[in-house]
Amino acid sequence: MAKMSYKSGLPVAIGNKIYKTSQTRGADKDTIFQNRVLRNSTVLIPFRTWNKGAILLEEGFENGFIVLAYPEEYFEEIANDTSQNLTLGENLLVFYETRKDWLTYPPQKFGWDYAKSRTSPLLGQYCARVPDTTSETDQDIRIGFTNAASGGQGAGIRVYEYASKTTLELTRYQLAYLAWRTVGMYDLAISEGIATPEIYKAHVDEFCANNNLIDVQRLEQSRLIKDDITVCPLCLKPISAIELGSRLEQAEGRFVPDLTVTGANLFHVNELRTGLYNHSIYNLGWGHHHCNTVARDYGISPTIEWMGQVLTWNGYSITKE
Ligand SMILES: [Zn+2]
């Protein structure tokens, strides 16, 4: 038998969904971030967080990091201060994000070239993403990390999106563990031609057991599972395999008029926040698309509190068991 992986035996759409969790979310071309790349890519650290003691991983970042400083920050706080441990073109780039900066500190005045590499040496000193203005003569300025020659669009990923290769492997297996515990997963797998789903589930269970990924109490406290059934971290309703296999994406700007089609997607229990690495084990589960949308900005507890208030304001009386 071929070597088994986290996705062996799972319906193809679900295996792909798990794989995609290893990638960062989509990024627009007018930003400095890479679009859907592996979470162990080069990390971009804004100087203001670096200066405040950005959380650096003891083991380092697998593909390094780049600190981005605005021109004013560079000249006033970095250029003459060796204690910052930042060297332009090595682990630091000047980043132009406003037209005012572009005009006040034109890079050619300092003999700077645009950066071409994501790892040291960066083969340049700056990059730019300055939006278009309403003026007819002004155009957007996009310089550095814009095309295939520099390995695609974007200089790197957000700090809080980072996860090491090992973490990615562990989180994928934990998500597969949860996928096998959605309602009706055996039937769905069998309908996709998998004769013996239990063999593949057993492989995932064994891997997870060997890697300390099945602390039931922790899984339940994180609202990922209840009585060995995978639940949505917000509403706690069991997730069905069909929902998980649904192609309904966490659509950005896409209107989904049919509310009965409830897709289930990756759900970060503690949302992604700057300064924390939240793509980690025991923090990822499967949640309803709609629940994810509501809880994403506030977090689970504040969202539930808010929902209670909404009901109260609408004349419902609520008592907690
Ligand atoms: Zn839900």
pLDDT above 50 (res 251): no
Kindly give the distance from the C-alpha atom of residue 180 to the centroid of ligand 1, in angstroms, as a whole number: 18
Kindly give the distance from the C-alpha atom of residue 235 to the centroid of ligand 1, in angstroms, as a whole number: 4
Domain termination site, one of 161, 182, 214 = 161
Hey, is 305 helix, strand or coil?
helix
pLDDT above 50 (res 253): no
Domain termination site, one of 142, 161, 180 = 161
Kindly give the distance from the C-alpha atom of residue 292 to the centroid of ligand 1, in angstroms, as a whole number: 7
pLDDT above 50 (res 15): yes
Hey, is 13 helix, strand or coil?
helix
At 111-120, the pLDDT tens digits run 999 999 999 9
**296 found inside a domain:** yes
Q: How much is the pTM?
A: 0.88
Kindly give the residue spans of alpha helices, DSSP state H, lying in 215-258: 216-221, 241-245
The rounded distance, in Å, linking the Cα atoms of 164 and 38 is: 9
Give the domain extent around 54: 26-161
pLDDT above 50 (res 252): no
Kindly give the distance from the C-alpha atom of residue 296 to the centroid of ligand 1, in angstroms, as a whole number: 12
Higher pLDDT, 241 or 252: 241
143 secondary structure, DSSP code: E
Q: Are residues 153 and 170 in the same domain?
A: no
Q: Are residues 169 and 229 in the same domain?
A: yes
Q: Are residues 131 and 171 in the same domain?
A: no
Residue 275 tokens, joined: 């300064």
Q: What is the pLDDT of residue 57?
A: 82
Query: Sorting pLDDT into bands at 50, 70 and 90, what band is 248?
Result: low
Q: What is the pLDDT of residue 134?
A: 73
Kindly give the distance from the C-alpha atom of residue 284 to the centroid of ligand 1, in angstroms, as a whole number: 14
Query: Sorting pLDDT into bands at 50, 70 and 90, what band is 275?
Result: low
Q: Are residues 174 and 302 in the same domain?
A: yes
Q: What is the pLDDT of residue 261?
A: 53
- What is the mean pLDDT of the segment spanning 146-170? 92
Domain termination site, one of 161, 181, 200 = 161
